[in-house]
Structure 1
Amino acid sequence: MTRPSHNPDKEPLPGIVARKTDQHIKAQKQEKQSIYFGLGMIGTVGWMIVLPLVAGAMVGRVLDRLWPCAVSFTLTFIFAGLCLGCWFAWQWINRQGE
C-alpha cells in the first residue's frame, strides 16, 4: 500500500486548526445582533437597490421624451439601475461581514 503524495498547495493541518480557532474566538466575542439590526440591514439593502433603479427609470423617461427611438431608454436604464443597485448592495454586505 502506498502513501498518498503530499500536495504543497494544500494548507497544513495546524494552519487550518489555527484559522478555525481564530474564527471561533472572534465569533464568540461578537455580541448577538437584535432582530432590529436584521430588519435595518434588510431595509438598507432594499434602498440600495431601489434608489438606483428609480433614478434609472427617471433618466430613461427623460431620454425617451427627448430622443424617441426603437430602443426604450427607460427599460435600459431600469436594468442598468438594478444591476448597479445590486452591485452596491453586494459590496456593502461584503464590507459588513469583515
Structure 2
Amino acid sequence: MTNETKQTSQDSHPFATQVGAKAARKLKAKRNATPGVWFGLGMMGMIGWSVVIPTLLGTALGLWLDQRYPGGRSWTLALLVAGLTLGCFNAWYWVVKEDQAMRNEQEDNDE
C-alpha cells in the first residue's frame, strides 16, 4: 500500500463514524418522538396541582384549627402560607427533575 492509500483509508474512518452516529441519532429520534403541546400542558397541570393541593390542605387545616381553637392567631393564614411554600418547593423539585431528564436525553442524542 502506498502512503496515499493509507492516508485515505485512515481519513475515511472518522467520517464513517460520524455518519453512523448521525444515523443512530435519527433512528433514536424517530423512536422517541419529541414531546408536543399536550406534554407541555400536562407538565403545567402537574406543576399547578403540586402547588394547589398543599395550599388547599393547609388552608383547610387552618380553618378547622380556627374553628376548634379560636384565638388571637389566624391559623388559616399561617397554614395557607406554609402550604403555598411547600407547594412551590414541590413544583421546583418537579421542574428540576424534568430539566435533568431532558438534559440527559440531549446528551444521549449528542453522543
**Smaller-chain TM-score bracket:** 0.5 to 0.7
Report the structure, 1 or 2, having the larger helix content.
Answer: 2
TM-score between the two structures when normalised by the length of structure 2: 0.60
Q: Which runs of 4+ in 1 moved over 4 A?
A: none
- Deviation string 1:18-57 (CA, Å, 9 cap, x unpaired) is xxxxxxx9xxx67522000000000000000000000001
User: Which of the two has higher C-alpha Rg?
Assistant: 2
In structure 2, the residue matched to 1:11 is: none
In structure 1, the residue matched to 2:69 is: 67
- Write the letter of the residue equivalent to 1:76: A
In structure 2, the residue matched to 1:32 is: 34
Within 1, Cα distance between the matches of 2:64 and 2:41? 34
After superposition, the CA RMSD in angstroms is 1.8
Q: Percent identity?
A: 38
- Write the letter of the residue equivalent to 2:37: I
Unaligned runs of 5+ in 2: 1-24, 101-111
- Write the letter of the residue equivalent to 1:33: P
Unaligned runs of 5+ in 1: 1-24
In structure 2, the residue matched to 1:79 is: 81
Within 2, Cα distance between the matches of 1:31 and 1:88? 28
| 1:87 alignment partner, SS class | helix
| 1:97 alignment partner, SS class | helix
How many residues align structurally?
72
TM-score between the two structures when normalised by the length of structure 1: 0.68
